[in-house]
């Protein structure tokens, strides 16, 4: 904000009561009204890597020129230096406004979003992260400025679950699950639930589950969440402690089907044999 021009009171007002200056400052807070310069409250915008983001700008008012500034390409984020990204000028009567992209890095990736003069940036890269600024020059020398902090996150893919079973004696198994979504950790949260979507067991990266050998399985689910997405994976304490379960369900129904078939064949055979015997017996008992 250092480089922003604030309205300078004339020299003879240097001794004006502070309250009057405060009043001037307060007046400058609301959006483009009478004071010469107005600010928005800085906006935080989250973008998704490879996707698009919109830096919002409400603008119905007539304007002379809108200048979008981008973070400096040098890695001196601390300096907060910004460079011209694009300049928007009104089109002729009935024509669309003109957008001139001045920064190579954004060429082919920016356009005006809808009728609002909001700036849409597509194919976001991590390098797009930083502070943006818009300066809107209105007619009658009024100016409006707004700062944006753009953060880029990856859309989370399915987290990886690592499993550490340890026999704790007495037929119990301590199994530790560790969830990892592979992104920078500080903006990631993990929640463990059982069942998926149920009560929260833990919000740590790892979860310790005690499983009694032979007990029912009770899978746990880890959901990784970042500001733009979430993704889940589930794991089974029983499988972790007792080895992968035999392919039960399909095998069972297959066996059952086979059993029924064998029973049916046996039954038919038995009925056949009986019939033959009975018939034979009748034959013999006939005089
Ligand atoms: C944006 O990404 C898409 C898909 O990866 C690609 O086809 C397109 O050329 C990219 N556009 C620009 C301007 O980089
Ligand atoms: C298993 O977990 C319990 C409960 O947290 C703990 O008291 C015990 O020491 C653990 N045993 C082993 C062998 O890790
Ligand atoms: C083993 O488990 C049984 C049943 O829960 C309990 O009564 C017993 O005290 C346990 N023994 C040990 C050594 O932990
Ligand atoms: C997870 O993302 C979905 C959309 O992908 C959203 O509807 C849901 O509310 C999110 N859940 C959490 C806990 O953030």
User: What integer pLDDT is reported at residue 54 of this predicted model?
Assistant: 97
Range with lowest mean pLDDT among 135-149, 250-264, 270-284: 250-264
Is pLDDT of 232 > 80?
Answer: yes
Return the best residue to mutate from 48, 123, 127 for the ligand 1 pocket (most ligand atoms within 8 A of CB).
123
User: What integer pLDDT is reported at residue 208 of this predicted model?
Assistant: 96
User: What integer pLDDT is reported at residue 196 of this predicted model?
Assistant: 65
Is pLDDT of 162 > 60?
Answer: yes
170 CA distance to ligand 3 middle (Å): 6
Name the more confident of 15 and 41: 41
Give the pLDDT confidence of 63-87 residue by residue, as tens digits: 899 999 999 887 555 555 678 999 9
For ligand 1, atom 4, name the residue with the nearest CA.
Answer: 123
Q: Are strands 189-193 and 220-226 parallel, antiparallel or unpaired?
A: antiparallel
210 CA distance to ligand 3 middle (Å): 14
Q: How confident is the model at residue 25 (pLDDT cuts 50, 70, 90)?
A: very low
Q: What are phi and psi of 237, to 5 degrees?
A: -60, -35
122 CA distance to ligand 1 middle (Å): 8
Relative to the alpha carbon of 171, which ligand is closest?
3
57, 117 contact by CB (below 8 A)? yes
Q: What are phi and psi of 5, to 5 degrees?
A: -85, 120
Is pLDDT of 5 > 80?
Answer: no
For ligand 1, atom 8, name the residue with the nearest CA.
Answer: 123
For ligand 2, atom 8, name the residue with the nearest CA.
Answer: 168
Atom of ligand 4 nearest to the CA of 191: 13
Give the pLDDT confidence of 39-67 residue by residue, as tens digits: 999 999 999 999 999 999 976 668 899 99
Cβ of 167 closer than 6 Å to ligand 2, yes or no, is: no
Range with lowest mean pLDDT among 29-33, 103-107, 186-190, 211-215: 29-33
Return the best residue to mutate from 189, 196, 230 for the ligand 4 pocket (most ligand atoms within 8 A of CB).
230
Q: How confident is the model at residue 20 (pLDDT cuts 50, 70, 90)?
A: very low
174 CA distance to ligand 2 middle (Å): 6
Q: What are phi and psi of 211, to 5 degrees?
A: -120, 130
CB atoms within 10 A of CB 190: 20
Atom of ligand 1 nearest to the CA of 108: 13
241: which 2 tokens? 């402690």
Alpha-carbon distance of 105 to 89, in angstroms, equals: 21
Atom of ligand 1 nearest to the CA of 50: 2
Name the more confident of 23 and 78: 78
User: What integer pLDDT is reported at residue 119 of this predicted model?
Assistant: 95
Is pLDDT of 144 > 80?
Answer: yes
Range with lowest mean pLDDT among 4-8, 126-130, 148-152, 220-224: 4-8
Alpha-carbon distance of 198 to 192, in angstroms, equals: 9
Relative to the alpha carbon of 125, which ligand is closest?
1
Tell me what the pLDDT averaged over the chain comes to. 80
User: Among residues of the chain, what percentage have pLDDT more than 90?
Assistant: 48
Range with lowest mean pLDDT among 208-217, 242-251, 273-282: 242-251
Relative to the alpha carbon of 210, which ligand is closest?
2
Is pLDDT of 173 > 90?
Answer: yes
> Can you list the domains of the chain with their CATH numbers?
10-153 (2.60.40.10), 160-242 (2.60.40.10)
Ligand 1 pocket at CB < 6 A:
108-109, 123
DSSP letter for 259, please. H
Alpha-carbon distance of 25 to 35, in angstroms, equals: 9
């Amino acid at each position: 904000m250092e480089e922003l021009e604030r309205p300078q009171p004339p020299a003879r007002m240097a001794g004006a009561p502070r309250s009057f200056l405060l009043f001037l400052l307060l007046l400058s807070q609301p959006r483009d009204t009478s004071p010469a310069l107005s600010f928005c409250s800085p906006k935080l915008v989250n973008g998704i890597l490879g996707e698009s983001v919109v830096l919002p700008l409400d603008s119905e008012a007539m304007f002379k020129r809108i200048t979008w500034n981008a973070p400096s390409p040098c890695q001196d984020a601390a300096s907060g230096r910004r460079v011209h990204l694009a300049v928007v000028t009104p089109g002729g009567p009935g024509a669309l406004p003109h957008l001139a992209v001045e920064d190579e890095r954004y060429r082919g990736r920016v356009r005006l979003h809808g009728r609002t003069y909001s700036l849409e940036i597509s194919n976001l890269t991590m390098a797009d992260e930083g502070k943006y600024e818009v300066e809107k020059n209105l007619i009658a020398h009024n100016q409006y400025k707004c700062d944006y902090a753009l953060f880029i996150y990856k859309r989370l893919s399915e987290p990886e679950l690592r499993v550490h079973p340890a026999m704790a004696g007495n037929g119990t198994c301590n199994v530790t699950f560790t969830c990892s979504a592979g992104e920078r950790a500080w903006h990631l949260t993990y929640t463990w639930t059982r069942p998926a979507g149920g009560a929260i067991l833990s919000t740590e990266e790892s979860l310790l589950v005690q499983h009694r050998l032979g007990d029912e399985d009770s899978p746990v689910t880890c959901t990784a969440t970042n500001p733009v997405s979430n993704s889940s994976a589930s794991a089974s304490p029983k499988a972790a402690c007792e080895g992968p379960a035999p392919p039960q369900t399909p095998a069972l129904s297959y066996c059952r089907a086979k059993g029924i078939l064998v029973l049916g064949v046996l039954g038919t055979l038995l009925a056949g044999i009986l019939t033959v015997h009975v018939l034979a017996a009748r034959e013999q008992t006939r005089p």
